[in-house]
Amino acid sequence: MLGLTKKDYNLLLIVACLTMLAPFILNPFPEGSGLAQFNAGYPDLMQRFVIFGIFAIGFNILFGLTGYLSFGHAAFLGVGSYAAIWMMKLLTTNVIPAMILAVAIAGAFALLVGYVSLRRSGIYFSILTLAFAQMSYALAYSVLTPITGGETGLQLKLDDARILDGALGAGEQARANLFGLNMSSSYELSVGSWLFTFNTGYYIAAVIMLLAFYLAIRIFRSPFGLMLRAVKSNQQRLNYTGLNPRPYTLAAFVISGMYAGLAGGLMVAMDTQVGPERMFWTASGEVVLMTILGGAGTLIGPVLGAGLIKYMENILSKINSDILHTWFAFLPDGLEDFIITLIYPFIGKGWHLTLGIIFMLVVIFLPGGLVEGGQRIAKLFKRKDDAEDTAASTPAE
């Protein structure tokens, strides 16, 4: 179905169910309870899950299939964002043209960067992409201020042209929309002590992520994807066969850049403002962490990695000492203070320390990322079930 094998179709179905039911899955604890701190079912965070999932899926097409490690993908994220905001300022606040332009401009820029960078491989390729990203950041931050807004960035204003949109009335604001449907509109459902929020922008981004995930599956299973795996396996042997791998790696680089541009365009559709910080090298490093944590070269791994990092960034970082004292108030004062002293460096502003430890453990014990961890657990249960079936089928003596 849909040109997919049964296994891939089931995987797509699982991802679709997880994204569509995210408001319920990410809000397991009732409002007002001590554990409500860990709820992640609010629109802004759910949008980040799927947008950075798209970013990581695209990066995985390059890194996971070809083995080329780019540290410059933040440049395409930023270029896509700037293209989208200018489309919304000049033509229309409808997000469709903005995302189309974001993908097109990011793809063209990726073609330029890839054409130069792919003349080298290994660490030299990584450094070249990093250099391009930092040059792009510097241009956006200072040199191209009339276009990028410099340090303050760009956002929608009342005096923007918006040629295809009608004039705004008194007190109205320009808002991103999908054919008139406001991206920030939400519906809240209260069930007992639980509160679930269904956001228009999230579901639009979720549908786009599912389409991007489906396209990634088709790329992975195609002859083109097989050629990219051959590049990763042994590029020198591929050269000996008479095949030139560079057009394939360049195509993978451009596709990956277009995914990043799509993610940048979606970020603008949700937030309608852009700053040069999206092009800084740390954003490129973040998508590398997402892909490796989830499982480079796997289909669902980058999505899981993006979700884990964004969850920690937005949830774990908000836990402070007051919340810890509330949790451990039942303990004697001395023991309570001792436990909080041990935990506090790993939460709040120190959440990066926890992320670093998790990343180190994954690299050492789970080179295949979270996906490998899930596979090991599944094999463990399967082995246990097989042992029970064998024992049940063995006749008693």
CA atoms within 13 A on the CB side of 35: 7
- Domain presence at residue 359: no
Does residue 101 contact residue 158 with C-beta atoms inside 8 Å?
no
Domains in the chain: how many in total?
1
Of the pLDDT bands very low, low, confident and very high (cuts 50, 70, 90), residue 321 is: confident
pLDDT at 276 over 50: yes
Bridge partners of 181, per DSSP, are 178
pLDDT at 385 over 90: no
- Domain presence at residue 350: no
Gap between the Cα atoms of 313 and 342, Å rounded? 20
pLDDT at 395 over 80: no
Residue ranges of alpha helices (H) inside the chain are 6-20, 22-25, 43-66, 73-90, 95-117, 122-138, 145-148, 200-221, 223-240, 246-271, 281-294, 301-314, 321-327, 333-343, 351-365, 369-393
- Domain presence at residue 103: yes
Return the axis-axis angle of helices 246-271 and 200-221, rounded to nearest 10°. 170
Percent of the chain at pLDDT > 70 equals 95
Which run of H or E residues covers position 369? helix 369-393
- Domain presence at residue 92: yes
- CA proximity to 284, closest of 52, 112, 124: 52
* Interacting residues of 390 by C-beta distance below 8 A, sequence separation 6+: none
pLDDT at 216 over 70: yes
- How many helices (DSSP H) and strands (DSSP E) are in the chain? 16, 6
pLDDT at 135 over 50: yes
- Domain presence at residue 220: yes
DSSP tag of 141? I
* pLDDT confidence of residue 397: 45
* Interacting residues of 266 by C-beta distance below 8 A, sequence separation 6+: 47, 51, 54, 99, 205, 208
- Domain presence at residue 286: no
Does residue 331 contact residue 241 with C-beta atoms inside 8 Å?
no
What mean pLDDT is predicted for residues 253-280?
Answer: 93
* pLDDT confidence of residue 114: 96
pLDDT at 306 over 70: yes
- Other C-beta atoms closer than 10 Å to the C-beta of 120 total 13
- Domain presence at residue 85: yes
Of the pLDDT bands very low, low, confident and very high (cuts 50, 70, 90), residue 57 is: very high
Of the pLDDT bands very low, low, confident and very high (cuts 50, 70, 90), residue 317 is: confident
pLDDT at 396 over 60: no
- Domain presence at residue 250: yes
58 is in which domain, residue-wise?
6-27+37-166+173-280
What mean pLDDT is predicted for residues 251-274?
Answer: 94
Gap between the Cα atoms of 92 and 166, Å rounded? 9
